[in-house]
Each structure stands twice: as structure tokens, then as C-alpha cells.
Amino acid sequence: MPATREAAERAEALRAEIERHNYAYYVLDAPTVPDAEYDRLFRELQALEAQYPELQTSDSPTLRVGGRPLPEFAPVRHAVPMLSIKTETDTGPEGARSFDARVRRVLGLEEGAPPVEYAAELKFDGLAVSLRYEDGVLVRAATRGDGETGEDVTQNVRTIRRIPLRLRGAVPSVLEVRGEVFMSRPDFERYNARQRALGKPTLVNPRNGAAGSIRQLDPKMAAERPLSFYAYGVGETRGWQLPASHGGVLDALEAFGIPVCEHRVVAHGAEELIGFHACILALRDTLPFDIDGVVYKVNALVLQERLGFVSREPRWAVAHKYPAQEEMTQVLGIEVQVGRTGAITPVARLAPVFVGGVTVTNATLHNEDEVRRKDVRIGDTAIVRRAGDVIPEVVAVVKEKRSGSEVPFVMPTTCPVCGSVIQRLPDEAVARCTGGLYCPAQRKQAVLHFASRRALDIEGLGEKLVDQLVERQMVETVADLYDPLRINAEALSGLERMGGKSAQNVVEAVERSKDTTLARLIYALGIRNVGEATAKDLARHFGSIEALMGAGVEELQRVPDVGPVVAESIAGFFAESHNREVIARLQQAGVHGKAEARSAAPRAVLQGLTFVLTGTLPQLTREEAGALIEAAGGKVSGSVSKKTDYVVAGEEAGSKLDKARTLGVPVIDEDGLRQLLES
């Protein structure tokens, strides 16, 4: 049955509206409708096209979800060759001066002639593609290939929502746009985190992620990858009077609705090019995507034509790179470091290599799973990455260079700092030292947590004071806070920024903290996976710290909402004699923790429901929201699982929100939480 006129008009209207929303969201970063409304429009268009297949046009947004897998990529002959540009080997200021001198020499400019006008832009670290628009509609996309012939990747490129399927305004009959497909670092990290949560393969780096996605034979898999695009020039055009300059061309492309990077300038002469190179170098590590340099182009198209080409490279353009952020070197050994929270991090000891502007001898391997996934072995040749102030990391190993003598990494069973047992709980990627109250590597964090407002609330014991107490060995465990020979007004007043009055206030705050509840004391111990809500449950169930310390895993699991993972954390913590000794000293000092009398049951509208809070809520702090949930009988958890009933998400919600969506856990905002509380 052919489509009705009403259906055809509705489909056309939906396509236009959805593309407007895509442009606002993906190009302008200014969403115009909620996700739910966008999804409703998209589903309506899908339903219309399913009912009337003839309504699906080549610029339909529904094509962005990916089509059928391809047997192979068809070759595409470029009407205008996609040539590469020369790279300046000197990454310093002389690289720009050399290019400018060559341009001036070929143009025959005298020494006193005005400076040449250049367009300066970024050199993206992705995959070059060509987009062919006919009468404003995207009809084909191709890779660069050898410059003469590329591969048809139209189906995959259509899945990139930043790339318009139909151009805006009065468009040329033919417009071939040249640009770079890339993956932003935040999108790359989120994608890999989601893949790890699902137990699926991750991507090595953003550049490989972009190139591999575009050259993926299954467009549906390409559609799952978060790709972006920026245009940097044009190829063949028909029915269009080109602007007089390269900068004008980019402005025109932007007006057509094609993404063009904002970091571009018109520069006059070598010194302004040098200034742009230095400016972008300073910005480089704050950019959300990878670049490996900047590009200079003679701005006037008429001068580009005069300059021409040499060895298939344009004389009018050059890439001025920065020091490489990835290099190869040998893994001499793999050790582990203990973080402030007890996290055990494998670290590769490397043959010194100059990367990212510094000499690197160590690189993080993140955790045991990452070592296994990347299969990093002692003796391997590894690719090491360093970007700005980011800790160097091993990206991958070059397995082709293996000799067979490489040694696999074995995670130690005891902490190299304090000798306590290293424990890795189910569903956690990070192994941890269990000597939380004793381990020197964890002292500062342990003391800060113990003294925090929601724990023993020792006013005045902030980070700078704790740093001094630990570094001067006045405090080695939290029990030392209550030793008058170590912590007294005279000793404290000799510390930086501590006068006599401040010192006395801290001593009095330490003394007041002895009068605390059992729940606060349990929370203050810093046991992994034991938050405030769990600490309250444990306090109600056991009634004393002695009873809690004597409980086995099975008995611990009788406490509401304490599962095997939390029970193992608690049992492992109290199994360490060091931790028990610290608790004994706390008790000797008078810190026992009183069991609280159970109050009348609140209005339990959230009884039996588990919530996870993530991001910044508009009005409530996370603590306030948690208190409201618990007062209504609900439970607040620190991690998302299949047992989570709701995730309450605010601004800048991170991996917890991604995991909730992966597991299908309902996500609500602060208003949604208030509605539940009032229900």
C-alpha cells in the first residue's frame, strides 16, 4: 500500500526536526529537547518508514543506527586527490620560520615585503575522510586510501551524528568536504568503561578507535562507537563560487551546518604562526580530543594556486607537530604501588624514553585486569603514552617483538609497604591492602576519613594539619590522635599555621570525639564498602565493636543489605592483627562507640528500596539526599548493581550513570526523588 500524502509530509517534517535537534546537540552542544522527546520523534519516524519503506530517504536520521553488514568496502576514486602535507621535523619555532621562508622564496617576495597571510588550524589525530554532497544530501563517504583511491564507508559515516545528512541553506550542486573523524577522550573513556563493565573488548586509544570504527564492516557496530568529525577543507565542487581564502571556505562550510573547529586563526607572518603554535601547545591537554600538531596554510586561494605542489605535497601547507605523546620502549620490570586508599596499582619500570616532552621511566598499568588484557610482560616492547601532566601509561605491547623470554606479571599476595594481606573482592577491578588503619601508605587518608564530619567529626583536623602530623611521624595510626604524649597543645602549636588557641581547639575537639556512636566509629574505620548506611545496620545488629570483630562471613550476611562482597571486606579488615591492635588502643583511650537506642520507625515510603547517588544535584547535597532516603526507610549504596532500584543522577554524573543504563536500572533526577518521598 503506497504512503499517504499525510504520512509523507509527516515523515519529511520529522526528518527536518530530528536533524535540527541533532545539530543543536552534537554541533552546538546546546540541546533543544529532552532525550525522551527526541526518542519519541525518532521512534515515530522509524514506525512510518517501517510501514512505508518508500519514505526512507538517503538523508533519513534512521540510517544513523547502521545498516546491513558489508562483504567488503568498494573502492572510490577521488575526483580531486586527497594528498598528504609535508611535516616540519623541527617542533620548535624554527619549524614555522622555515615554512614561511620557503613560501616567501617561491612567491618571490623581497625581504621588506608585507608578511604572508596564513590560516592556522589544528592537526587532528584521527582518520581523514571525504564527504560528497549532491544538492545538499550526503551521497557518499570515503577514506583517503592512497590519495587517489579510497574505500566507500558511507554506511559507517552516516552513523556519526555530528555529520549532517543534509546541508543547510543555498548549497552547491556538488560539494566534497574533507575532514577528520576522531573520538574524543571523554567518549573514549566512557566507551571503554562500558565495555569493561560488560566484559567486552576495549579500544587501545582514541585514534585506533576512530579508524577501526570507520573501517568496520558491520555498520551497527560502528553506530555503537562515539565518533566525532571536523572539516578542514574541500575537494571537488560544482555550482559554487569558492570564497577567496581558505578561512572563508571554512566559514562557508560552517554556515552549511558542517562542524568546523573553533581553534583556528588568520596569522600574518612567521611570528604569529609561532604564537599560535605555542598557544595551542598550552591548550593541548585541556582539549577533549587528541592532536599531534597544528597546520599552516597560505590563506589566499590564488596564492595556493601559484605555489602549487612538489612531490605530490602542496607547497602552500605544512604540519608543524609537537613532541610525540607515544613512544616505544622496553618493560624492565613490573612492581606495585600502594595508594592512599590502599589501592594496589601495577607500575611498569621502563628503559628511559623521551615522550611528551620529558624522559619517562615509569608508567601505570592501572590494575591487574588491565595487565592481563594488554598482556604486558616483563621484557616486552611497549607503547608508552604521556599527555601533559597525565601519568604515563602503557597503551599496548608490540607482540611481534617478543623473543619468548618475557615473564608474565604475578600480583603479590601481601602489601609491599606493611605486609598486610592484599584482597580483591568479586566485581572489583582494584586489589587493595587490608591494613587500612596501620599501613603507612594509607595513613593520611585513614586519619582524614576518621576525623571527617560524618565519622568522628574532629573539628580543625584538616588536610594541611594531617599532612604535618603524618610527615613528622607524630601520628602513625588513628589511635595516636588520643595519645597525650603525641597530641597536645604544646606539640601542635609548634606546627605551621597553628597558634596556641588553634592548637588547644584541636586538642579539645579530639577529646570530644571520644563521645561517639558505634555507627560513627564503624564508619570511621574506613572499611572498604562500608558506608554510613551499612555502618548503621552493623551497629544495630551487633551492638558492640567486639561482637562485630568476632563475626564470621556467614553471620555478617545476616545483616540487612550485607552481601558476600561487603561481608568479605569486613571480615578481611578485622582479620588483620594490625587493625585489631589499633582498635584496642582506641578503646583504651576511651573511644568505644555507644550503641544507639532504636527510635520509632519513620514513615517508610522507601522501605526495601536501594538508591545510588551520582553527580551534583541542583538543591540537595549528596549527604542531604542520602539522609532523606534513609529517613524514609531506603538504603543508599555506593555502587550500581542489578539490585539497585533507582539511580539519582545530577549534573556531571559519571560511570555510575553509564552502568545504570547498561543494567536497565531506572534513572531519576532530584525532582523524581522528591516525588517518591512524597508518594
Say how far apart CA 342 and CA 340 lie, in whole Å. 6
Q: How many CB atoms lie within 10 A of CB 461?
A: 22
Query: Cβ(331)–Cβ(382) under 8 Å?
Result: yes
258: phi then psi, degrees, rounded to nearest 5: -95, 130
Q: Where does 452-485 have alpha helices with state H?
A: 463-471
Give kind and range of the element (H or E) at residue 670: helix 670-678
CA distances from 452 to 368, 462, 513, 521, 539 (A): 31, 8, 11, 11, 19
One-letter amino acid for residue 186 of the chain = P
Give kind and range of the element (H or E) at residue 566: helix 564-575
Q: Mention every residue, 6+ apart, whose C-beta is less than 8 A from residue 60.
A: 15, 45, 49, 165
274: phi then psi, degrees, rounded to nearest 5: -60, -40
CA distances from 577 to 18, 149, 227, 580 (A): 63, 70, 52, 5
479-495: b (≥16 Cβ within 10 Å) or e = bbbbeeebbebebbbeb
> Catalytic one among 86, 123, 220, 514?
123
CA 611 to chain centre: 24
Say how far apart CA 227 and CA 289 lie, in whole Å. 11
Is 123 among the catalytic positions?
A: yes
Say how far apart CA 653 and CA 657 lie, in whole Å. 6
Using alpha carbons, select from 436, 431, 435 the residue that is nearest to residue 346: 431
CA 418 to chain centre: 32
HSE at residue 278, side-chain half, CA atoms within 13 A, is 9
Residue given cell 551534583 in the structure block: 616
Using alpha carbons, select from 278, 231, 586, 655 the residue that is nearest to residue 438: 586
Say how far apart CA 657 and CA 677 lie, in whole Å. 21
CA distances from 358 to 324, 349, 390 (A): 10, 16, 12
Query: Cβ(414)–Cβ(344) under 8 Å?
Result: no
Say how far apart CA 320 and CA 284 lie, in whole Å. 14
Using alpha carbons, select from 589, 587, 604, 423 the residue that is nearest to residue 518: 587
Active-site amino acid positions: 123
